[in-house]
Structures are given as structure tokens and as C-alpha cells.
A and B are shown apart, each in its own frame.
Chain A
Amino acid sequence: DAGVTQSPTHLIKTRGQQVTLRCSPKSGHDTVSWYQQALGQGPQFIFQYYEEEERQRGNFPDRFSGHQFPNYSSELNVNALLLGDSALYLCASSQQGRTYEQYFGPGTRLTVT
């Protein structure tokens, strides 16, 4: 049983560019949450998707957007990249209503130069 997978593992982009990160949830999970983790900090909640809709959102600008597909996989899109967007982006999956039992993926390391 595969756990949460994310791609790519690492990514280097230039300021102003756009990036798309991908996440496949653990088998049996229908809810996907995205987090941003800056170096030396705890993860910060970006948003959560369930039934292909954004259900909750943290304190992130509209440059951060997402999508969930019918197979529950999800994408995180970031437009107009800033140097401060450099971070580890974590995806976590869970069953609806059981977000406290979420499982994290290995993360995507994004570097903006």
C-alpha cells in the first residue's frame, strides 16, 4: 500500500515564474491538505481539498491555488514566484473528518532564485 507520494522531489525556479506541485494521497484517503515549511519553521497550512473543492484556507495569498481530481490526487500551483516562496511543500492526506490522522508525503523542495 503506497503512502502519500509527491512530485517532483526538488525544483528550482526563477522569480516571477509559475510552478505546479503534485500529490497522490494514501489509498483510501479522500482529503488532501497542503503545507509550506520554511527552513527551521513548522509547517504552515495553505489549504485543504475535499470532493474537488477547496474547503479551508490558511493565510496565503491568491497566488497559491490548487486543484483536486476525481481520483483524489491534487496539485498546488504558485504564480509569480517570490524568493520567499522557497520552502519545503508538504502534502498530507486523510479521510474526510479525520484530518487529525493525516499522513504526510516526503515533500517537494522548491528553490526560487
Chain B
Amino acid sequence: KNQVEQSPQSLIILEGKNCTLQCNYTVSPFSNLRWYKQDTGRGPVSLTIMTFSENTKSNGRYTATLDADTKQSSLHITASQLSDSASYICVVSPASGGSYIPTFGRGTSLIVHP
């Protein structure tokens, strides 16, 4: 069964600090992995997308890494801001010629305090 596990479940940091969120997956064969940011009660917004051949992708203060061998990904947030407070969701898509159903993690809830 395809699964995506995220850790930690929640995280509280002070404004200006860095943090790293983790994502482990069992989806196989693997096509791509995306990190989304979701504000409370809103739809997810894509931050990064990586294929199996990529091991790092940046989007401003967000940097995602991928190790396809160990099936692990991380999202590093640099110099956090209050607006970074949100849920961060890891989504893994299978490589399939026919059926396609992405697997979502439960998300990491990040709270940035002033």
C-alpha cells in the first residue's frame, strides 16, 4: 500500500529561525514528489516539485531535497516569517501508464511565533 509519512506532526519555532520538515514514502514506482503549503481552511499551494532524478529544488526561502534511494524528502525553511505558519503537505505521485492516484501525507503544522 502506498503511504506517505510526515514528521514532526507539529512544530513551533521563533520568527527568523530555520526548520526542516521530513517526508518518508513507500510509493513505488515513483514519479514525482511535491511539497504544498496550506493555510488554514484554504486550498494547498504548490511550493516545489521534484522528479526521481532531482535531489534538490528551491523556491525562495524553501528548499526541498529528495533521496529516491531511501525514499525520503525534506523541506527546509530558512529565516522563518510569521506568514510561514501553515500546514506543509508532502504528496507523492506514482509512475503508472494508466491509473494515477497521488498519495498525500497528513501534513506538518508549523507555527511561527514572533
Contact = CB atoms under 8 A, between A and B. Distances in A.
B102 A107 contact: no
B104 interface: yes
A19 to B, nearest CB: 18
B43 A42 contact: no
Interface in B24-77: 31-32, 34, 36, 41-46, 49
Interface residues of A, number: 23
Interface in A15-64: 35, 40-45, 48, 56, 58
B82 interface: no
Nearest to B109: A40
A66 interface: no
Contacts of A48: 100
Contacts of A100: 31-32, 34, 49, 93, 102
A67 B43 CA distance: 21
Contacts, number: 49
A21 B41 CA distance: 16
Given A100-B32, A100-B34, A109 B106 contact: no
B89 interface: yes
Nearest to B32: A100
A56 B43 contact: no
A56 B93 contact: no
Interface of A: 4, 35, 40-45, 48, 56, 58, 88, 90, 92, 99-101, 103-107, 109
